[in-house]
Chains A and B, each alone.
Chain A
């Protein structure tokens, strides 16, 4: 990744924060290829029996973007943006797959088995997205916390960093968020 691109991502992040129109799509376009590239490498480097570690992808993406760039010391800023991008990508993917499932006939023959996510996964993401609509109305902060924790896989501490809040606050709010979320999604403990 070259410096010019890093710089433009930096600008885009600021623009997204200011909710400038179109900024988000541009951010996705700028961040996704890097995330994807890292993900591919992770797929290659991953030990058998384990799935992709998305959290590590986010961190690696940040490390790459931040390397040698002082204005990228704001890791929290990046984590928050990455969470948004990843949510967008995942929900989009789930919607497509869900639609495809309904409209699709024969499946193409694959030489190398693609790792199929179950329909359940796609539905779970869409269900989460619906629940977030309602939760946002109660408190937008809860939505942001869930976004960080679920879509980027951030820890409580990282979420605190991303949202510029204290760990204690995020812990309390996370309880609250879980309450609404579990309730809305009717996810039963196994």
Chain B
């Protein structure tokens, strides 16, 4: 008996006995043939493993392979190459799908040159269902005319009755391959998806749902144009829209590509345009794989929401949000928190919200946020007041042009509501021009407060001619619209247009309003802020002062404008006349307290501004007191993680730092960092600043081993989120160099200082900063024994350091001559 036979016999016999008797049986039959025993035991182990696993696995393999086999099995009979069919000369086969084969074709009737894709149903599949579907595709494509959709030229049937379609030939790559092969960046990928989504929107407007959106159905040409292909399983939402087309049966619905099918498609539920939105989201997600910044992530999530009702209501909305992303505007996919919008605003309009007006203590690279809170708060006020008024007015009043909308039953965002309102407005109010103009302006204000400035501008531009016609060019209404538009255009970067409009409103206002009319003050203040922005400081000061004076005796309705003028003045006087600056803030603070109360945002913000000024006056105790009163108000009204709150805390940290109370500064900065990490994540400019500030407080306490890694965090974050030529990247390097110098690591200090020097020479040459960097290089050389070279560099840095106010300990460290 061969060994294999023995093993098989023992194994087979063992299978027939109870598990507990197997050992005995094996020992009896195999004796001391250890190898045989092992083999039998191994076989038994395999045999008694839970059944089903290998069966399931092979079931799946078999089924997959069959599918593969069917789709790429050669079928010579099927080849139509070289044949003339209708006006078309069929050429080589270019693709083969489960149902259809696609050939390249040329128009051959001599009329003109035209390349085409010839798509024919595969042999043996010409069932009624599939033939109907081909006809449907033809009809659907004929109803669509869009540069993003491959056009249909012709269609017909072969001699054997199989239908064919002649389509626009698209010489391109599937979108995913195109993106990868051309190494497109995120923005370029988003742009392609915008084109695709536009094409889909076109189809949706014609009641066509594509249902099979996936990368292989989106080809991108060499010129970068996208074409959507294959409406093979597209569906008409409303069969009546194209009367000749029969509604598709279930067969059509089952051809979906599983990987891209929406949840409702998988569940076999009713398919709407929302399924296409889902698939667009899926493709977007894939194209962005691995590099999905927060906003895009939110967009993908909204597009792919499991509840179809919570996705974008249309492909157009998706387009709009993607465009907002590209423009750096807040995307609607984000939850509608004020903080988020302000955060975006901060990124987009650094001049409006210089949350990070950087005051610099070079030693530690202290970055400080001195915020013009008022403008921010104005925004917040506008938001809440205008939104409330608008929403209440539009949706809760029994007014005839706001019928109950079923969409309002569920939780809709403010923007959703506005969009509905705006559409309704456009449709229904043509006969009531006054109401229309006033609503256009109001909705425009709400959009502005939501920071959706394009829509805001569009609505105001629409209101303006109406108002001119209704009330005349010299009317308060026109002044108000010009004011709003001027600010909007300026915010958006079109300063010239902004200047034009604001000049016009001021000139009209000074003609139509009495000298003691507060509206004239409002007009002056609007122009005053603008003048400040364009650098006309003298004019700005005059206008703001005049405006503030005119509002002195006005009703409390004008308190906000008065406060904003006073804060504007304070900022204007900040450097030149600190007394006047202080007086202006103090007045703003008093107005705010009287009108809005101690616990109001206005008061808290004025208080913060006041406290910051006190810090610069050296009035530390008063300053601290005011910070500690204001910050809890901000925390409770705006939230702990709100960046206005955090900016205020940062100023408190700065106060402690200036006062020399470093442990307290450290504690505050630690808290700020934690909160920024929570709200903004690591890779964010503010988070970088927080790291740098916290590290700075630690560096100054001499705990260099602890602080250097934190400075490195700041450096790494800056390098990621800032342009490479941003001078701020040099700050942590200077700090690291200083810290290394202090702990006697001359070589390391030199390395960081040299990189800082290189960066500063490239970005802010001949500056105090460059001087500090050069001095640090010199000092680190001295420490390494290269005394002569080092001393020369330190001495050579003096004229640069003398250009500004170098903070301690630099003047001493760099051996600046005492003045």
A interface residues, Cβ below 8 angstroms from B: 33, 36-37, 39-41, 43-55, 57, 86, 89-90, 93-94, 97, 108-118, 121-122, 124-125, 128, 138-139, 149-151, 153, 172, 175-176, 178-183, 187, 189-190
Contacts and interface: CB of A to CB of B under 8 A. Distances in A.
A81 B320 CA distance: 60
Contact of A179 (B44, B69, B100): B44
B251 interface: yes
Given A183-B42, A187-B54, A112 B95 contact: yes
Interface string B42-67: 11101111110111011111111111
Contacts of B48: 175
* 4 closest residue pairs by CB, A with B: A112-B97, A179-B47, A182-B46, A111-B95
A139 B8 contact: yes
Chain B facing A: main interface SS: helix
Given A179-B11, A179-B47, A113 B67 contact: no
Given A46-B254, A121-B64, A178-B46, A114 B71 contact: yes
Given A45-B254, A89-B69, A121-B61, 5 more contacts: A48-B253, A112-B232, A114-B97, A117-B65, A153-B62
A169 B217 CA distance: 52
A50 B258 contact: yes
A121 to B, nearest CB: 5
Contact of A48 (B59, B71, B230, B266): B266
Contacts of B303: none
A116 B70 CA distance: 11
B731 to A, nearest CB: 51
Among B12, B46, B50, find the residue whose CB has the most chain A CB atoms closer than 10 A: B46
Contacts of A150: 55, 58, 62
Given A111-B94, A114-B96, A122 B46 contact: no
23 contacts: A36-B73, A43-B98, A44-B99, A49-B258, A90-B62, A108-B95, A109-B94, A111-B97, A111-B216, A111-B229, A112-B96, A112-B232, A113-B257, A114-B96, A121-B65, A149-B55, A150-B62, A172-B16, A176-B11, A178-B46, A178-B51, A178-B54, A189-B53
Contacts of B125: 40, 44
A33 B78 CA distance: 14
B15 interface: yes
B265 A176 contact: no
Contacts of B73: 36, 93
A182 B64 contact: no
Interface in B317-366: none
B255 interface: yes
Contact of A49 (B129, B232, B266): B266
Among A54, A89, A112, find the residue whose CB has the most chain B CB atoms closer than 10 A: A112
A109 B12 contact: no
Contacts of A180: 43, 46
A43 B70 contact: yes
A127 to B, nearest CB: 11
B68 A138 contact: no
Nearest to B229: A111
A138 B2 CA distance: 11
Contact of A90 (B66, B96, B254): B66
A90 to B, nearest CB: 6
A94 B65 CA distance: 8
Interface string B197-210: 00000000000000
B185 interface: no
Contacts of B12: 176
B265 A48 contact: yes
B247 interface: no
A172 B15 contact: yes
Contacts of B8: 138-139
Contacts of A113: 97, 214, 216, 257
A187 to B, nearest CB: 6
B16 A117 contact: no
Contacts of A53: 63
B174 interface: yes
B63 A115 contact: no
Contacts of B575: none
B61 A111 contact: no
A109 B232 CA distance: 18
Given A47-B268, A112-B97, A182-B54, A93 B11 contact: no
Contacts of B61: 117, 121, 124-125
Interface string B234-261: 0000000000000000010111111001
A150 B66 CA distance: 13
A97 B43 CA distance: 32
A58 to B, nearest CB: 11
A109 B46 contact: no
Nearest to B256: A48
A117 B51 contact: no
A128 B230 CA distance: 38
B130 interface: yes
Contacts of A138: 4, 8
Contacts of A112: 95-100, 216-217, 230, 232
A53 B15 CA distance: 32
A183 B11 CA distance: 13
Contacts of B96: 110, 112, 114
A175 B15 contact: yes
B293 interface: no
B72 interface: yes
Contacts of A93: 65, 68-69, 73
B772 interface: no
Nearest to A92: B69
Contacts of A49: 258, 261, 266
Nearest to A40: B125
Given A36-B70, A113-B257, A176-B12, A44 B251 contact: yes
Contacts of B51: 178
Contacts of A52: 63-64, 66-67, 70
B585 interface: no
B67 A183 contact: no
B46 A97 contact: no
B728 interface: no
A116 B61 CA distance: 11
Nearest to B211: A48
B70 A39 contact: yes
Contact of B97 (A110, A121, A122, A172): A110
B102 interface: yes
A183 B251 contact: no
B290 interface: no
Contact of B43 (A57, A118, A124, A179): A179
B124 interface: yes
A115 B266 contact: no
A84 to B, nearest CB: 14
Contacts of B58: 124, 128, 150
